[in-house]
Structure formats: C-alpha cells, structure tokens
Homo-oligomer: A and B are copies of this chain.
Amino acid sequence: MHDLHAQRTIHMNTRPNHSSGYIVWFTGLSGAGKTTTVRALRDHLEAHRQVEILDGDELRGTLCSDLGFSKADRDANVARIGYVARLLAGHGVAVLVAAISPYRDARREVRNAACSQGIPFIEVFVDASLETVLARDTKGLYKRALAGDVTEFTGITAPYEPPEAADVRLQTDSQTVGASVRELLTALRRYRLE
C-alpha cells in the first residue's frame, strides 16, 4: 500500500531546516584563506538565512582585546568565540568562525560544548602549506615574525596542530575560492544544514 504519510516524513527529514543554527569553524595558519573563504560562503548563504561571521582577527579588537598569544590566552580566545557562536547558533544563525585556533584540545572543547547543546558543528581545515603562506604574506606578518619582531607567531615561533579528522579540508594552495565554497555547500547539504 502506498503510504503518503511515510513519504511526507522522509521529505521533511531531508529538507534543510533554515530555522536551525549551526557553527562552521575554520582553522588554519594566518594567510591560509580563512577570512576570504568565510566571506565568500557568507555571500552565498545570506540571501536565505541569518549568517554571522566571527573573525578572530576582528574580535581581538573587541571581545578579546585583553588577550595575548600565549597558549592560555589563545585557548581563552577560542573559548570566548565558541561561547558567542553557540549563543548565536541557538537563535538560528549560521555562524562562520575564522580563527587560527592552533591547539587541538581547545578546538575539541569548543566542538564538544556545541554538540552537548545539540548545535551542529563542522570543522574546516583551511590547509595551505607554510611555504604558500610565507610566499603570500599578505599582512607582512611572516616577514616580521622571521625577523623576530613578532613573538609567538603560529607556524614560526608557536605551534599549529592540524586537525586529525576535519569534516572538510580545503586545499587553498591549489583550489580557488569558488571551488572551496562549492565544497562547503556540498558538505552543508550532506549534513542537511542547507
């Protein structure tokens, strides 16, 4: 017998729920392309849903202006961004976080906190080799770090622990921003978030 009710249930379960928030957390070296990628993704999403970018660089001028670059301060930075991201996602916002967030344990904690609140959390590794970001050096920071003018600089004088099992890995060495956005949209659809 043809079961219309079952069909409708399946349809509803596979439909994206635009009233549900989620967090997409972009981690990677300075200059890897986090900000560029989240802005491009935002441009695709904001036509049909609430989106907010939490950019680590910008938040250091506001919510995290007291924090430096020690491990403790970087972990506090990640924890604060995670807290705000959960608040926003809890109100249906798609939150795109761009933050170097170099330590694996801090990223794990922020993911666990989201999951324990039932908030979908997608970790994106914005993967560009150190050679690439050194060659780009858009902000001139690597040059200063290599000269010793900037201390505790991720990749040079401070560690970066790459994700072991990121949900999405973007090879920005070799792929365009457009290709990255397509990959992210595919992942969001796979998780039924879009």
Contacts and interface: CB of A to CB of B under 8 A. Distances in A.
Q: How many copies does the complex hold?
A: 2
B50 A87 contact: no
B66 A83 contact: no
A50 B93 CA distance: 12
Q: What 5 A-B pairs have minimum CB-CB distances, sorted nearest first? A: A50-B91, A91-B93, A63-B83, A62-B83, A84-B84
A52 interface: yes
User: Chain B CB within 10 Å — which of A62, A76, A87 has the most?
Assistant: A87
Contact of A76 (B66, B76, B80): B66
A62 B63 CA distance: 13
A155 interface: no
Interface in A68-113: 76, 80, 83-84, 87-88, 90-93
Contact of A84 (B63, B92, B93): B63
Given A63-B63, A87-B87, 15 more contacts: A50-B91, A50-B92, A52-B90, A52-B91, A62-B83, A63-B80, A63-B83, A63-B84, A84-B84, A84-B87, A87-B88, A88-B91, A91-B91, A91-B92, A91-B93
